Amino acid sequence: MNWARRLGRSGPADAVVAVIVTLLVGYTLVDPPGPSPSWPAWSAWPVAAVVSFPVAFRRRRPPAMLALACAGGAAAIVAGAAAAGALSVSFLPTVLVLYLVASTASIAWSLAGLAACLSVAAITVLIFYAQVFPGLSPAGTPSELPPYWPIEIGMIGVLLAAAWTLGTAVRWKRDTTTRLVRHLAEAAVGDERRRIARELHDIIGHSMSLIAVKATVANHVADARPQEVRAALSVIEQTSRSTLTEIHRVLDLLRSDADPQQAGLLVPGMADLPELAAHARSAGVEVALSVREEAALPPAVAVSVYRIVQQALTNVVTHAGPTRCSVTVDVDGREAVIEVVDDGPRHGRPSRPGHGGHGLIGMRERAKAYGGTFSAGSRPEGGFRVAARLPYDPNGDPA
């Protein structure tokens, strides 16, 4: 694994930490709590610098620096340069490097490093108390921390275990955050795909239904009433052009990766509802449109209202036309209420189901995005009813 690429170069902060650790280790060697080391007093600072050296470069190659720090601390203890009663200070650089290893490497690597450091520490402490400690001069004053090898090993073990636990916890939190961010990004991509699919479904479904109806009419009256054929072809031409324009808008929005309001692109809204009704009328549906708008709708909500009405009228044209249909849109500044009711097919065709189909799913998803409600189903007296409620705040967000 390329540790240098993953963690970058060692920064000034690590150099400062290494200097602080050097001062702490050196001061402990100069004024130990137990018998003084057999080495000259001036040697305390070079020994402290060598022992603390890996801290300054721990981010370049953490495993190598961990081995170097552990070896340096062990060598200082076995050579008699460490302070009896405070041998754990010689392993302080090892503790800091082990934390970094545990927070960046896999659990297997960091656990192996912890086990190796604990083993080396225990062995070196035992060697110190068996061979080095008996030859040291007694301390001038009684120590508050009398030299005792079980305490020394225990203190080093606690420090190493604490560093490994803290580092592992940091790594787990970092990995969890990364997975959460990735999951949210994937969810956002999925939502965007569904949004674009809904847009294309509503645009193409509405237009193709209208084109199919007018093409059928033109085909049936081609010989008897050529004027109606021309009228049907005119509707097909206009519908095709407007559909291509809307498809280009959606594709441009997809390429720009922007929000409709931020992209500066024209989006349908409440003012386009009469045109929807006119398209449905041209397909043989008698549409009665009623819009009550006490307050201007935010653009995002207006688009959702338009798409729900568009899909509901598309279903009427496809499944029930020619028939009568009433469209009611009521906006009071807090919510938009939509109701589309038709009388059902006039020629005894079976009524359409109230569940399933991408159109109903899309309308339900649009209402759900605002925390609203959606219902669709056959009426007892005949026909079909679609109702949706979209609560919102003045900014266009779900209420």
Residues 69-113 pLDDT 10s: 999 889 988 888 887 777 888 899 999 999 999 998 888 888 999
Residue 48: inside a domain: yes
Residue 143 is predicted with a pLDDT of 52
Question: End of a domain among 183, 211, 231?
Answer: 183
14 and 153 fall within a common domain: yes
Question: End of a domain among 183, 216, 238?
Answer: 183
48 and 149 fall within a common domain: yes
Residue 3 is predicted with a pLDDT of 43
Rounded to two decimals, what is the model's pTM? 0.54
Side by side, which strands form the sheet with 335-342? 286-293, 324-331, 335-342, 384-391, 373-378
Beta strand ranges found along the chain (DSSP E): 286-293, 324-331, 335-342, 373-378, 384-391
Residue 206 is predicted with a pLDDT of 63
305 and 157 fall within a common domain: no
Residue 208 is predicted with a pLDDT of 72
**Residue 328 to residue 309: CA distance in whole angstroms:** 9
Residue 6 is predicted with a pLDDT of 43
Residue 196: inside a domain: no
301 and 399 fall within a common domain: yes
Residue 256 is predicted with a pLDDT of 58
21 and 130 fall within a common domain: yes
Mind listing the pLDDT tens digit for each residue in 290-320?
999 887 888 888 888 988 998 888 888 877 7
Q: What is the CATH number of the domain that holds 306?
A: 3.30.565.10
Q: Which domain holds residue 298?
A: 270-399
Decide: helix, strand or coil at residue 321: coil
Residue 8: inside a domain: yes
Residue 205: inside a domain: no
163 and 282 fall within a common domain: no
Residue 323 is predicted with a pLDDT of 85
Question: End of a domain among 153, 183, 213?
Answer: 183
**Residue 247 to residue 207: CA distance in whole angstroms:** 11
Residue 347 is predicted with a pLDDT of 62
Residue 228 is predicted with a pLDDT of 67
Residue 236: inside a domain: no
Residue 370: inside a domain: yes
Residue 253: inside a domain: no
Residue 235 is predicted with a pLDDT of 67
Residue 202: inside a domain: no
Find out whether the peptide bond into 391 is cis, omega within 30 degrees of 0.
no
Describe the crossing of helices 358-369 and 149-220 by its angle, rounded to 10 degrees: 130
pLDDT along the chain (399 residues), means of 10: 46 82 82 73 85 86 90 88 82 92 89 92 89 69 63 90 93 88 76 70 68 70 70 70 70 58 59 86 85 84 87 82 88 90 73 60 85 90 90 74
373 and 276 fall within a common domain: yes
Greatest Cα pair distance, the chain, in angstroms, is: 125
* Contact criterion met (CB below 8 Å) for 385 and 339: yes
61 and 168 fall within a common domain: yes
Count structural domains, the chain.
2
19 and 132 fall within a common domain: yes
Residue 337 is predicted with a pLDDT of 93
Residue 144 is predicted with a pLDDT of 52
Residue 393 is predicted with a pLDDT of 82
Q: CB neighbours of 339 closer than 8 A, spacing ≥ 6?
A: 326, 327, 328, 385, 386, 387
Look up tokens 């499944």; give the residue: 319
144 and 286 fall within a common domain: no
